[in-house]
A and B are shown apart, each in its own frame.
Chain A
Amino acid sequence: MATRFVLEGLRAAIDGKEILKGIDLEIKGGEIHAIMGPNGTGKSTLASAIMGHPKYEVTDGAAQLDGEDVLEMAVDERARAGLFLAMQYPSEIAGVTNSDFLRSAINARRGEGNEISLIKFIRQMEGKMKELEMNTEFAHRYLNEGFSGGEKKRNEILQMMMLDPKIVILDEIDSGLDIDALKVVAAGVNAMRSEERGFLIITHYQRLLNYITPDFVHVMMQGRIVKSGGPELAQRLEAEGYDWVKEELGIVDETVGQA
């Protein structure tokens, strides 16, 4: 069955304050969707709520992956169902090596008795690390500990490549990356494009989209998708900023849930 991820009227709150005010979105395998918007408009909340971060409470709406209710699933079940979120601020975990972590994640998918062989795992990991121009020494480092911002982002992409998810959400994967790292990360994402896989790229800069061409661009303000279009929308936003969107829609303050 072709991959299909659907959000219907998704609402979410943090500490009782509503941030997402009804998100409708459909991502099919093979599609790349970009969500753009200024800071504080609910973009990262959308990513976190889909993945099931405990701080965010989904108050209404539905999320389905291939017809299955994602919101009913625990975080790890969502991941095993095929969701992947490359996080803006990945956790650092001392004492757990990158490779032990990745192998646990792969084996969690494969199930008991079907674990990946160590040799095959190492070969795969080193191959992907090479693609991402990562030093293979990072396999033995503790997970994200002492990694620079760019190294953490590459490490997120490495995980994406190793875990082969159906729906990939990239939350500000471009922030903190220099142009060379950005190109490497974009190449990694492009290599993963397939008819089986859909992408949701969250960014507030257009520059990532110079390297990863989206099929659909959505603008988020006040916790809603307020405008959708094709790649040309991203280019216009880059050239003209967001003011024209606000003007067109009569929005004064685009943010949501700010104190």
Chain B
Amino acid sequence: MSTQLSIPISREAVEKQSRANGEPEWLTALRAEAAGLSETLALPKPEKTRIDRWNLGALGTYKPSEAAASPDSLPEDIRALVPSGTSANLLVQRNSGVVYSHLADELKAKGVIYTDLETAAREHGDLVKSHLFTAIAKDEDKLAAIHAALWNGGVFIYVPKNVEVDIPLQALLFQDDAEATFAPHILIVADTHSSVTYVDHVISGQAGRTAPAVHSGAVEIIVKAGAKVRFASIHNMADNVVDLSTRRAIIGNDASVEWIIGDLHDGNTLSDTKSVLKGNGSTSDAKVISVGTHSQNMSLTTQAVHFGLSSDSNMVTRAVMRDEASAIINGITKIEKGATKANGVQTERVLMLSPKARGDANPILLIDEDDVTAGHAASVGQVNPEQIHYLMSRGIRRAEAERLIINGFLAPVVSEIPIEAVREQLQRLLEGKLGS
């Protein structure tokens, strides 16, 4: 590749930091290897998005934050986002490190682990080692390697066999120092016939809005046979932050994963969410909602790869683009040879609110098996003037008419979000992004 971006990752510095943090040797070696790979690997080349022009170098340096005794000692703008209720199972990452985590004793007693990934690597080494970077390959591309070398803080969830966690585990991941490396890695391991819901919110604190930064995020979900994982994530960082988010799930026999992604970030976004349906009878459902404003560029990809017999995937993306925002929306359903009776469905829809906004929907079906069903639908369009006229003819003002139509465009997905708190938060952010 000709456009090699120089992103300075020093193998030595990575090793030094890992040792200083008391990480196990295998992890230091993994980071060092990834740092080496990051020098030679190429950047990913998402469809019609020139990420090589993005400010990918603003990775900052490792800056842990002081632990918080309770969520009350967090900065005020962040505190407002802390879920209410003292029983909340909550983890908070600030800049490069986790500053608070709490898990109900009842869940601890059942063997559930909910802690930051750095601590988990020290305390639950085998469990972490056998799953970390198994869903995402650290040599997938340059960005994956950078993340593997630099990840910090993060989340580790382990749910033992047959344990069902009824209350969502929640995380708040925020950056309020643009000089700090902000690279949370989330690893969720749901053992056989367990179930868990995880909800996070990735944001910039007020103080983190002053300089360019990069959020290098990765999510790996390992869903073992018969287990069920629900993952919801809302991203809303400052417009000078580049959001790089890769999410992967490996789904076992009769297991299921549900993705709910709110890409409401204000800056450039590379978001890629993929389910690998390894198991027979495995299912995946992905819902992505996005609003683009100003001149931000977004590349939003959902993928489902079917290996298992009778595996089932559904992916829906709906995006509203304002101003000069641009979104390239890719949906890739791949059904491998042997995945008989698999079913894969995807829909991408983009609503453009201004003549300078841009939206592309690229549905791709790659099917190597005959005995399957698959479908896709995609549309890109503007607000229909007849609809505006109809609403206005009943006395509704133009701005309100547009608001109704835009909300209506997103409603079929938003209303299906099964977690009320997430739905409400999403609604609030949507109104914020659409109203400004």
Contact = CB atoms under 8 A, between A and B. Distances in A.
Contacts of A93: 387, 390-391, 404-405, 408
A91 B387 contact: yes
Contacts, number: 78
B409 A95 contact: yes
B129 interface: no
Nearest to A110: B395
B412 interface: yes
B409 A79 contact: no
Given A96-B404, A108-B400, A51 B393 contact: yes
A163 interface: yes
Nearest to B386: A91
B395 A96 contact: no
Contact of A85 (B385, B391, B393, B396): B393
Contact of A94 (B390, B401, B412): B412
B430 to A, nearest CB: 13
B392 A95 contact: no
A76 B397 contact: yes
B408 A96 contact: yes
Interface string B399-416: 011001101111110000
Interface string B309-340: 00000000000000000000000000000000
Q: Name the residue in B390, B397, B398, B400 with the highest tally of chain A Cβ atoms < 10 Å from its Cβ.
A: B390
A109 B389 contact: no
Contact of A142 (B384, B391, B394, B408): B408
Interface residues of A, number: 28
A20 to B, nearest CB: 18
B408 A80 contact: no
Contact of B389 (A75, A80, A101): A75
Contacts of B405: 93, 95-96
A95 B411 contact: yes
Interface string B267-284: 000000000000000000
A74 B408 contact: no
Nearest to B404: A96
A96 B407 contact: yes
Contact of B396 (A53, A87, A105): A105
B395 A80 contact: yes
A155 to B, nearest CB: 11
Given A76-B398, A96-B405, A104-B404, A91 B392 contact: no
B410 A95 contact: yes
Given A76-B396, A108-B397, A101 B391 contact: yes
B400 A75 contact: no
A100 interface: yes
B400 A104 contact: yes
B390 A105 contact: no
Contacts of A94: 408-409, 412
Contact of A105 (B394, B398, B408, B411): B394
A84 B410 CA distance: 29
A95 B407 contact: yes
B395 A163 contact: yes
A54 B385 contact: yes
Interface string A71-87: 00011101110001101
Contacts of A87: 390, 393
Nearest to A85: B393
- Residue among B391, B405, B411 with the most chain A CB within 10 A? B391
A90 B387 CA distance: 9
A96 B412 CA distance: 9
A159 interface: yes
Contacts of A91: 384, 386-387, 389-390
B393 A79 contact: yes
A54 B240 CA distance: 40
B396 A108 contact: yes
Contacts of B387: 91, 93
Contacts of B401: 76
Nearest to B411: A95
Contacts of A101: 391, 394, 396, 404
B395 A108 contact: yes
Interface in A41-78: 51-54, 74-76, 78
Contacts of A51: 393
Interface in B362-395: 384-387, 389-395
Contact of A90 (B385, B390, B398, B400): B390
A62 B411 CA distance: 42
Given A75-B389, A104-B400, A95 B408 contact: yes
A91 B393 CA distance: 11
A159 B394 CA distance: 8
25 contacts: A53-B389, A54-B385, A76-B396, A76-B398, A76-B401, A78-B393, A79-B394, A79-B396, A85-B393, A87-B390, A87-B393, A91-B389, A93-B387, A93-B405, A95-B412, A96-B405, A100-B404, A101-B391, A101-B394, A101-B396, A104-B391, A104-B396, A105-B396, A108-B395, A142-B408
Given A93-B404, A105-B396, 12 more contacts: A51-B393, A54-B389, A75-B392, A75-B393, A91-B384, A91-B389, A93-B390, A96-B411, A101-B404, A104-B396, A108-B395, A108-B396
Q: What are the 10 A-B residue pairs with the smallest beta carbon separation, nearest first?
A: A95-B408, A79-B395, A95-B411, A91-B390, A96-B408, A105-B394, A75-B392, A76-B392, A108-B395, A80-B395
